[in-house]
Homo-oligomer: A and B are copies of this chain.
Amino acid sequence: MDFSYSPAETEFRTALRSWLADALPTGWGETVFEPKDEDERARFRLDWERKLHAGGWSGINWPRAYGGRGATLVERAIFAEEMARARAPEGLNIIVGHNLVGTTLLRHGTEAQKQRFLPKIISSEEVWCQGFSEPNAGSDLASVRTRAERRGDKFIVNGQKIWTSFAQYADWCIALVRTDPEVRKHAGLSFLLINMKTPGITIRPLRQISGESEFNEMFFDDVQVPAENIVGEVNGGWAIAMTTLAFERGPEDALGRQMRFKQELDELLTTLASLKRDGGHVIDDPIIRQKLAKSITEVEIMRLNALRSISRYLNGEDRGPDVSLMKLFWSHAAQRLYDTALEALGPLAPLWGSAATAGGRFQLSWLQSKAFTIYSGSSEIQRNIIGERMLGLPR
């Protein structure tokens, strides 16, 4: 075990840190922030990703052949830390494009698919979305009903998807579709790459309880998909989707999220240090300090859990149910963090927007956090996976 860094790793960190100092606007994270409007924010994040790419900091751990720089997993972790330190913006294409589509294609795509798609993911020229869940296939994902019928050199796709993040900004979609309705439900699924500009696709934004519309419903009406845009074999989609989900819940994702939670926790601590109530500083309230200590510890453990998984992969182990452990932990810990934030804000916690402490960011995050334990595989699904695949308990 060794948490110290090699000279090469330290050099990587220094280079990134100095690049970030130049690339981010002056006053970033202190006086300058992301746009509030959702569409503007999406454009802002896409611009930021393109800037990262121009600087050579996009998809760093991908092979050089597809535009990456072949960075090690440790460098990937340093990357996450430095982004956190600089409070750099999140990306629009990171979660689906980089983490899901990229990694899935690297494992299961044909060489032609890799050549066609990977460079444009890394450059963020093409944004991706994920069409897996359906109204009746949520936790029970293998029940997807969206049909893809083979006609000549095309698949004809009909059906409905739901919870599609950023579909409104996406150029492409990975979709899990049913190609054989006659067989056992897991055995009749395929994995398609669908151009979002194809006629027959309708998007309807879904508002969340936070008021934002990160998610969408997607309707496919006789959508034509060229046959070469299948990943893997026909009816072999389930196993590929499982790879995708393992990356969705993996340490790369967890480190990115930890970055954001750490920023918000630090902001909470500095806010409470300056917030006065009944003549004292809120930060000095021993009851609140106990809860803060728990969140400080849990946010640190989020990072350590992710680093442990990365180290397991470095030491030759495969991705497995460890990703479910990680997701279950961070999702519930983050909910506790925002519950604590609102408790600490006290009598004025109900205020929203400009009148609220810290501009209402903790209230918004609190609302958003309610979804953490549901999306990307609900806590119930993660517990099944851990119980059965890791602990070996019977189904």
Question: How distant is the Cα of A58 from the Cα of B91 in the complex, in angstroms?
Answer: 74
Question: How distant is the Cα of A286 from the Cα of B290 in the complex, in angstroms?
Answer: 11
Quick check: is A287 within 8 A (CB to CB) of the other chain?
yes
Question: How distant is the Cα of A295 from the Cα of B356 in the complex, in angstroms?
Answer: 34
Question: How distant is the Cα of A287 from the Cα of B285 in the complex, in angstroms?
Answer: 10
Closest to A289 in B: B287
- What's the number of copies of this chain in the assembled complex? 2
- The size bracket of the interface on A is under 10
Question: How distant is the Cα of A386 from the Cα of B186 in the complex, in angstroms?
Answer: 34
Question: How distant is the Cα of A1 from the Cα of B362 in the complex, in angstroms?
Answer: 42
Question: How distant is the Cα of A368 from the Cα of B287 in the complex, in angstroms?
Answer: 29
Min CB gap A288→B, angstroms: 10
Q: Which of A309-355 contact B (CB under 8 A)?
A: none
Question: How distant is the Cα of A166 from the Cα of B286 in the complex, in angstroms?
Answer: 47
Interface string of A278-299 (1 = CB under 8 A from B): 0000000011001000000000
Question: How distant is the Cα of A287 from the Cα of B290 in the complex, in angstroms?
Answer: 8
Min CB gap A345→B, angstroms: 18
Q: Please, which residues of chain B bring their CB within 8 A of the CB of A287?
A: 286-287, 290
Q: Which of A259-291 contact B (CB under 8 A)?
A: 286-287, 290
Min CB gap A1→B, angstroms: 32
Q: Please, which residues of chain B bring their CB within 8 A of the CB of A286?
A: 286-287
Question: How distant is the Cα of A140 from the Cα of B286 in the complex, in angstroms?
Answer: 46
Question: How distant is the Cα of A141 from the Cα of B373 in the complex, in angstroms?
Answer: 35
Min CB gap A309→B, angstroms: 32
Question: How distant is the Cα of A73 from the Cα of B287 in the complex, in angstroms?
Answer: 42
Q: Please, which residues of chain B bring their CB within 8 A of the CB of A290?
A: 287
Question: How distant is the Cα of A287 from the Cα of B286 in the complex, in angstroms?
Answer: 7
Question: How distant is the Cα of A177 from the Cα of B287 in the complex, in angstroms?
Answer: 54
Question: How distant is the Cα of A287 from the Cα of B293 in the complex, in angstroms?
Answer: 13
Min CB gap A290→B, angstroms: 6
Closest to A285 in B: B286
Min CB gap A283→B, angstroms: 15
Min CB gap A295→B, angstroms: 16
Question: How distant is the Cα of A99 from the Cα of B287 in the complex, in angstroms?
Answer: 43
Closest to A286 in B: B286
Question: How distant is the Cα of A286 from the Cα of B287 in the complex, in angstroms?
Answer: 7
Question: How distant is the Cα of A359 from the Cα of B26 in the complex, in angstroms?
Answer: 65
Question: How distant is the Cα of A287 from the Cα of B289 in the complex, in angstroms?
Answer: 10
Min CB gap A144→B, angstroms: 24
4 contacts between A and B (CB under 8 A): A286-B286, A286-B287, A287-B287, A287-B290
Interface residues of A (CB under 8 A from B): 286-287, 290
Which 4 A-B pairs have CB atoms at the shortest separation, nearest pair first? A286-B286, A287-B290, A286-B287, A287-B287
